[in-house]
Amino acid sequence: MTVERVLRAALLPLIVVVLVVGVLGVQLANGGGHFTPARPANPCAPRAVAPVSSGIDGLGEHLVLLGLDGAACRLGMTREALTLQLAESKTPPTDAEVNAIRAGLLQAVDRMKADKTLPPASALVGEALADSNLNPFVKAAIRLLPDSVIDSALKTDDVLKRAINELDIARLLANLNNPDDLTQQINTALTDAVKQSLLARLRGLI
C-alpha cells in the first residue's frame, strides 16, 4: 500500500466525523436540537390539493379531499381526526357527520368553480362514454355534439352537485374498515355518480 493510500485511509474517517459534527452544530444553532412534531393542517384554512390522477377520477379525488376539509371544519376537528374517527367507529355515522361531509363536498364544488379549476363538461364526456354501456349509435351521436353545445347545456358544477346530493354517504361511511378507505370509497362512488349524471343529461341532447 502506498503512502498516499495510507494517508487517505487514515484521514477519511476523520473528515467524515468533522463533517457530521459541523452539520449537527448548524442544526443546533438553528434550533434543531428540539423536535417539534408537525401540526395537522387547519381544515378551515384554504389549502391547495393536487389530485394524483386526471379526468373524472382526478376531479373526484380533488373534491373529496377539499370536501373532507370542509366537513372537518364544520365538526371542529382536523381532517385526519375526522377520517380516523369515522374509520374506527363501531356505530353508524351520525346525521351531523353525514351532513357535514355532504356540505363539505358541495362547498368544494363552489370553491373550484370560484377558482376556475372545474373542467368544462365537454372535457369529461369522452371518459364517461368510454366507461358506459350505451348503444354504440348513441355514443357516436353524442361524440358528434360540438363542445360548445355540451358546455352550454351542461354545467360541470350542476352535474357534480346532483351527483353529490344523490350519494348514499351514510352507507359509504358504514362500510369503512380503515382510514385509508374513506377517500377512496367516496371518490369511487362520486366518480360513478358523476358519470351516470353526465350520461343521463347527454342523452337528452340527442
pLDDT digits (tens, 9 = 90+) for 110-147: 999 998 889 998 998 888 888 888 888 888 988 898 99
Range list of H helices, 93-178: 95-114, 122-130, 136-143, 147-153, 156-166, 169-174
pLDDT computed for residue 100 by the predictor: 95
**Residues 56 and 191 sit within 8 Å (Cβ to Cβ):** yes
Lowest mean pLDDT of 12-21, 73-82, 114-123, 167-176, name the range. Answer: 12-21
> At residue 111, what is the residue type?
R
pLDDT computed for residue 47 by the predictor: 73
Q: What angle do CA 198, 199, 200 make, to 5 degrees?
A: 95
Q: Does position 17 have pLDDT exceeding 50, yes or no?
A: no
Q: Does position 70 have pLDDT exceeding 60, yes or no?
A: yes
Lowest mean pLDDT of 11-15, 49-53, 138-142, 176-180, name the range. Answer: 11-15
When the pLDDT of each residue in the chain is averaged and rounded to a whole number, the result is 77
**Residues 160 and 26 sit within 8 Å (Cβ to Cβ):** no
Average pLDDT over residues 47-71: 81
pLDDT computed for residue 167 by the predictor: 87
pLDDT computed for residue 132 by the predictor: 83
pLDDT computed for residue 23 by the predictor: 36
More confident residue, 175 or 137: 137
Q: pLDDT by residue (tens digit) across 39-53? A: 667 778 777 766 556
Average pLDDT over residues 50-79: 85
Question: Which DSSP string corresponds to 20-72?
Answer: HHHHHHHHHHTTTTS--PPPPP-TTS------SS-HHHHHHHHHHHHHHHHHH
Q: Where are the domains of the chain?
A: 55-203
Give the separation between CA 161 and CA 155, rounded to whole angstroms: 10
Our CA dihedral for 197, 202, 205, 206, rounded to 10 degrees, sits at -130
Q: pLDDT by residue (tens digit) across 94-112? A: 999 999 999 999 999 999 9
The DSSP call for residue 120 is: P
Helix (H, G, I), strand (E, B) or coil at 133: coil
Lowest mean pLDDT of 22-26, 73-77, 149-153, name the range. Answer: 22-26
